[in-house]
Structure 1
Amino acid sequence: MNAFRDAGLVFSRAMKISLRNPAWVVIGLLQPILYLALFGPLLQRVASTPGFPPGDAWQVFVPGLLVQLGLFGAAFVGFGLIAEYRSGVIERMRVTPMSRFALLLGRVLRDVVVLVVQALVLVITAVAFGLRAPLDGILIGLLLVGVLGITMASVSYATALVLKSEDAFAPLLNTFMLPVMLLSGIMLPMSLAPGWLYNLSRVNPFSYVVDGARAAFRGDFAAGAFLAGSVVAAVLAVVGVTLGTRVFRRETS
């Protein structure tokens, strides 16, 4: 129980920092909303193309944007930890009896709360554009954003704590995130891709999460895509938290 109490303290501190500067919540939403407004209408013409997934254009596009938000919204949180390391916060952590797992969990929970709020605003905006989806499917989509946030924030913090340099962290993120986004089918469904590209996308675990979110927005909870996406998202979260906790224990002991 001490670990969760400690995590609550870390979460409270991190949340207060975010609330002092809420502009970052808005900034994080700008990119997906621009995609929604400027790219989404184009998919309405593509929806009749052979190979396009079931559901209308918005039921296909919005879940992809939610996954994009979960990926990119949490991938860059490590920059804040590098700043804390440089200012001596991490050094002071070394002498505290606080659980190392709690040091990670409190920060990650703050990031998840911010992501879910951003995702909710994005869905409400998408409804104004024409999205129609079952409520339980939307709620599951928000849940998937939170789970992805756990994965990406944990990995981001672990990577930042190892590298301790923005000059190394930024190019590594860009090198990793670009192929992940392109091969996950966030913007255009991979079912429209040629065979070799579709097969390559199956190596990317996030493509299963995208397919699962799209199945949820159709209300097709018995589909294999939904089950596979849910399992993959859960496994990634466990791996991310495990990795992050190990790095925190090593770097702050």
Structure 2
Amino acid sequence: MRLLTDTWLLFKNYMMSTLRQPVWILISLFTPICYLLLFAPLLDKMIVPSGPNTNALTSFTPGVVVMLGMFGSLFVGFSIISDLRAGIVERLRVTPVSRLAPLLGRALRDACLLLVQCLLLVTLAFILGLKADFWGVVLSLVLVIPMGIALASLSYAVGLMLKSEDAFAPLLNFFTTPLLLLSGVLLPLSLAPDWLQGAAKISPFYYIVNATRALFLGDFSDNAVWIGFGLVIVLAVLCVYWAANIFRRATA
């Protein structure tokens, strides 16, 4: 009960801090919106619709949603480094707050922001002509949100370990670029050569993107959907568990 109370109090505090500058929520949508407006139209003649009620956006938008979840969550670790420098994490050591509450409060705040951003992005995609199954889109958000929690927890833990933006930024760039390209967020990897398809199967995000695309098509029985949800659950449990241990040591 104490953990839930502390998490809720810190969640409200982090959320209020974020809402004081709501413009950053919209600024973080700039890159995905650019992909929808400037890149997606190029795919109209490249991607063959998989059915009468689909178009290029049906294949492209799920990837952009996953990309938003990936990048929006992986970069939150910069904020914990700022808190370290300001002494906020240090002050938590002398408070009776649960040692897990700072992590869970932050991760839940990030999940709420990600949900709002995904809703805005999908709404724009529908305005631009997206054809997708409504409940499939809803389930896609259910899939992406725990992925965001997992990656945000991972990012906070790495930020606590490195304690420096100079080390954190290049490490992120080193991993995010291959993850982005191997996940197939921009184009379905069915268009790729065999060796690239084989390399992509190493990345869990490849399966998450495939699951999201299947859901947008309304193909709920596709094995990709079950694989995607299974991987997201495992990823969330592992990342939150590892990050929780890092937070315990940092605030002990």
Q: State the TM-score bracket (shorter-chain normalisation).
A: over 0.9
In the alignment, is the contact (CA less than 8 A) between 1:64 and 1:210 conserved in 2? yes
Counterpart of 1:143, as a letter, is V
Aligned equivalents of 2:182, 2:50: Cα separation in 1: 16
Q: Unmatched 5+ residue regions in structure 1?
A: none
How big is each residue's C-alpha offset from its partner over 1:129-165, in whole Å with a ceiling of 9 and x where there is no partner?
Answer: 1112121111112122211210110000000000000
After TM superposition, give the deviation of residue 97 of structure 1 in Å: 2.2
Identity percentage of aligned residues: 48
Q: Relative to structure 1, is the Cα distance of residues 195 and 107 closer, same or farther in structure 2, using a 3 angstrom cutoff? A: same
After TM superposition, give the deviation of residue 251 of structure 1 in Å: 1.2
How big is each residue's C-alpha offset from its partner over 1:113-135, in whole Å with a ceiling of 9 and x where there is no partner?
Answer: 11110000000000011112121
Q: Report the TM-score when normalising by structure 2.
A: 0.97
Q: Report the TM-score when normalising by structure 1.
A: 0.96
Secondary structure at the counterpart of residue 100 of structure 1: coil
Q: Unmatched 5+ residue regions in structure 2?
A: none
Per the alignment, residue 21 of structure 2 pairs with 21
**Higher mean Cα deviation, 210-219 or 140-149?**
140-149
How big is each residue's C-alpha offset from its partner over 1:8-48, in whole Å with a ceiling of 9 and x where there is no partner?
Answer: 01101100110001111011100000000011111111113
Counterpart of 1:218, as a letter, is L
How big is each residue's C-alpha offset from its partner over 1:199-220, in whole Å with a ceiling of 9 and x where there is no partner?
Answer: 0000001100000000000110
Moved beyond 4 Å, runs of 4+: 52-55
Q: Relative to structure 1, is the Cα distance of residues 118 and 138 closer, same or farther in structure 2, using a 3 angstrom cutoff? A: same
Alignment of 1:4-153 (within 5 A): 4-48=4-48, 55-153=54-152
**C-alpha root-mean-square deviation of aligned residues, in Å?**
1.1
Per the alignment, residue 227 of structure 1 pairs with 226
How big is each residue's C-alpha offset from its partner over 1:174-208, in whole Å with a ceiling of 9 and x where there is no partner?
Answer: 10111000000000111110000000000001100
After TM superposition, give the deviation of residue 53 of structure 1 in Å: 6.6
The number of residue pairs the alignment matches comes to: 250
In the alignment, is the contact (CA less than 8 A) between 1:53 and 1:189 conserved in 2? no
Aligned equivalents of 1:29, 1:156: Cα separation in 2: 19
